[in-house]
Structure formats: C-alpha cells, structure tokens
C-alpha cells in the first residue's frame, strides 16, 4: 500500500461502527467490510464522526481497525484506512499518535480542536505540531459547525505546505471558501467534500471526491456519479444525482449516524441500529419514513 496522498481521492466511506448490547458487534462489522469492499469505494474512514469515534475506547478502536484490515485481507481487496482522531488537547493527541503509530492504517483524519475556539495561529501551531509528530500522513477535517472554529484558506494553504499534511475533508459550509481553496491549493493537496448534500456540487467545483455517509445505502450510484464526472458527462451525473439527492437529506433528518444505522439494520447489513449516548436511535416518525423509502426503492429496483 502506497501513501495516503496517492489514495486520497474518489469515494470514501466513513464506516459506521456497529454495536450490540453495548459492545462492538464484530460479526456485523465483518459483514459490512465484506459488503463494501465489493462496492465501488476507494477507502474507509474509521472511528470518525459517522463511526461514533468519540464514544470508542482505545481498545475498541484498535479492534475496529484490526477487524476491518483482517476482513479485507480475507477478501483479497486492500483499501486504504484512515483513522479519525479528535480532541482539544494537542499534547494528548500527540500521545494518541504515538499509541497508533504501528496500527495497519494509511493515515489520520483529524478535526479542529473543539470547544476551545483557538485562533488561526493556534490552529496552525496545533496541526503543525501533530504533523511533525505523526508516523502517518494527516488529512485535515474542517467542520466549523461542530468545532466552533473555521480553518481559513490562509491557514489551510500554510498547512498544505507541510509534507505530512496531504489533504482535507471539507465541511466548511461555504461554497465560496471551498472554490477559492480548490483554485489556490498546491497541486498535490487533495480536497474531498464531507457534505453529502453537496456531493455533486463539490465535484463540479473540482473536488477530488467525497467522504459520504449516504454511500452506505446507494454506493453504486454515488460511485457512478463520480465516474460520470471524471468522464465529463455532467448531464449523466446530474441524472444519477437525482436518484440520491433526497436520500442525503433523509439520512440527516436526525443526528447522524442513527438514521443510517436504522437503514442498515432494516436492510440486514447490521444486527442492531444501536448507537451510544448521547446519540439515541431514530424516532418512530423517522423510522416510518425510512421504511417507506426502503420499500419504494425496492419497488423501483424490481
């Protein structure tokens, strides 16, 4: 497996972490890995937002990585793994980088420090310290509506000069900022959208791909959209996008990943829709709406 920079493009799946009875559901995790390795994805994000990483104990996170890697080896398809890490303490994050340095991964996805709202100088110093320390390359995760701080393009372009910072998951919620970054970024700095509802829009603007929770459900369609865009078939990509645009809203009607987990449970890919507090399972109203959409898509497919 070569470096993360070479692999950070295309359709990446931020894999949900299945639980049952309060524990990591290893059987469902193996089933998920086998299923998605047979689909058109280009890599996995493990233990990040969609994977409820902030509720995972260190041993669970390590087991999660080991099982996914083991299942890929058994299926003879090796996809790059990027480990989600987050925190507001630079020193503690450096310790976590040390603790995971020998894990079978290709890199890290690291969000901005939450709650403390550092300045841009603080963000620059934080990420540079992590990048200097990390054994694996880092993709930044800019998501100001969760972290209460935005990495400006000026700061981002400084960070993009670091040899161990290879790209960005862009959830900046500003198309203007994203377009400017795509225009000004270094040639080898990858940008993937993390906003499902803006997937086609971001590809149109020049993003290198997406990290898309909704691709748990319509994997082939999201892959096809990317393929049509690469071939310059914008009308065909738009037509395929109409098949999933509503899905990207439905799966975020309530806090993610509960809706996606409910869908995967109803589809038989995981054995329980269980999430960990403070997440709660979907409401009865949303469950009914998802059931109706599953039935509708089954009828269309038939």
Q: What 3-state DSSP class applies to 168?
A: strand
302 confidence band (pLDDT: 50, 70, 90): confident
In this predicted structure, the answer to whether residue 223 has a pLDDT above a threshold of 80 is yes
Residues listed for the chain: 302
* Per-residue pLDDT at 237: 98
301 confidence band (pLDDT: 50, 70, 90): confident
Q: Report the number of distinct structural domains present in the chain.
A: 1
Per-residue model confidence as pLDDT tens digits over 238-288: 999 999 999 999 999 999 999 999 999 999 999 999 999 999 999 999 999
In this predicted structure, the answer to whether residue 2 has a pLDDT above a threshold of 60 is no
Catalytic residue, from 36, 108, 169, 261: name it: 169
DSSP 211: E
In this predicted structure, the answer to whether residue 1 has a pLDDT above a threshold of 80 is no
Percentage above 70 pLDDT, the chain: 99
23 confidence band (pLDDT: 50, 70, 90): very high
Instruction: Tell me what the mean pLDDT of segment 175-193 comes to.
Output: 97
In this predicted structure, the answer to whether residue 76 has a pLDDT above a threshold of 90 is no
DSSP 226: H
Q: What 3-state DSSP class applies to 1?
A: coil
Confirm whether residue 50 is marked as ligand binding.
Answer: yes
In this predicted structure, the answer to whether residue 183 has a pLDDT above a threshold of 50 is yes
Q: 109: buried, middle or exposed (CB in 10 Å: 19+, 13-18, 0-12)? A: buried
Q: 57: buried, middle or exposed (CB in 10 Å: 19+, 13-18, 0-12)? A: exposed
Q: What whole-number distance in Å separates Cα of residue 4 and Cα of residue 229?
A: 23
Q: What whole-number distance in Å separates Cα of residue 300 and Cα of residue 302?
A: 5
75 confidence band (pLDDT: 50, 70, 90): confident
Per-residue model confidence as pLDDT tens digits over 4-22: 989 999 999 999 999 999 9
* Per-residue pLDDT at 133: 97
Determine whether 141 is an active site residue: yes
Percentage above 90 pLDDT, the chain: 95
> What range defines the domain where residue 256 resides?
3-301
Structure tokens at 287: 């469950």
* Per-residue pLDDT at 173: 79
Q: What are phi and psi of 4, to 5 degrees?
A: -60, -35
CATH classification of the domain holding 208: 3.20.20.70
Confirm whether residue 151 is marked as ligand binding.
Answer: no
Instruction: Tell me what the mean pLDDT of segment 145-161 comes to.
Output: 96
Average model confidence (pLDDT) for the chain? 96
Spatial contact of 118 and 149, defined as CB atoms under 8 Å apart: yes
Instruction: Tell me what the mean pLDDT of segment 104-130 comes to.
Output: 97
Per-residue model confidence as pLDDT tens digits over 27-52: 999 999 999 999 999 999 999 999 99
């Amino acid at each position: 497996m070569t470096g993360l920079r070479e692999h950070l493009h295309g359709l990446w799946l931020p894999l949900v972490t299945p639980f049952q009875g309060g524990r990591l559901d290893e059987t469902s995790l193996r089933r998920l890995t086998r299923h998605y390795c047979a689909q058109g994805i280009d890599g996995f994000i493990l233990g990040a937002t969609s994977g409820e990483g902030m509720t995972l104990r260190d041993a669970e996170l390590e087991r999660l990585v080991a099982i996914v890697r083991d299942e890929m080896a058994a299926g003879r398809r090796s996809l790059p793994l990027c480990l989600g890490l987050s925190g507001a303490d630079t020193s503690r994050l450096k310790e976590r980088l040390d603790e995971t340095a020998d894990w079978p991964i290709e890199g890290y996805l690291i969000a901005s420090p939450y709650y403390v709202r550092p300045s841009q100088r603080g963000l620059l110093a934080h990420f540079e310290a992590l990048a200097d320390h990390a054994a694996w390359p880092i993709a930044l995760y800019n998501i100001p509506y969760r972290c209460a701080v935005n990495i400006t393009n000026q700061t981002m372009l400084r960070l993009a000069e670091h040899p161990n910072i290879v790209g960005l998951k862009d959830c900046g919620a500003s198309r203007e900022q994203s377009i400017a970054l795509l225009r000004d970024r270094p040639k080898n700095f990858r940008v993937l959208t993390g906003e499902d509802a803006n997937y086609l829009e971001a590809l149109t603007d020049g993003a290198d791909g997406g990290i898309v929770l909704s691709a748990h459900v319509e994997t082939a369609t999201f892959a096809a959209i990317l393929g049509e865009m690469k071939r310059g078939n914008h009308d065909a990509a738009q037509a395929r996008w109409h098949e999933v645009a509503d899905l990207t809203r439905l799966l975020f009607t309530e806090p993610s990943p509960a809706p996606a987990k409910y869908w995967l449970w109803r589809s038989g890919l995981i054995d329980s829709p269980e999430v960990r507090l403070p997440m709660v399972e979907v409401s009865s109203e949303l469950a009914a709406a998802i059931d109706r959409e599953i039935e509708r898509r089954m009828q269309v497919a038939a």
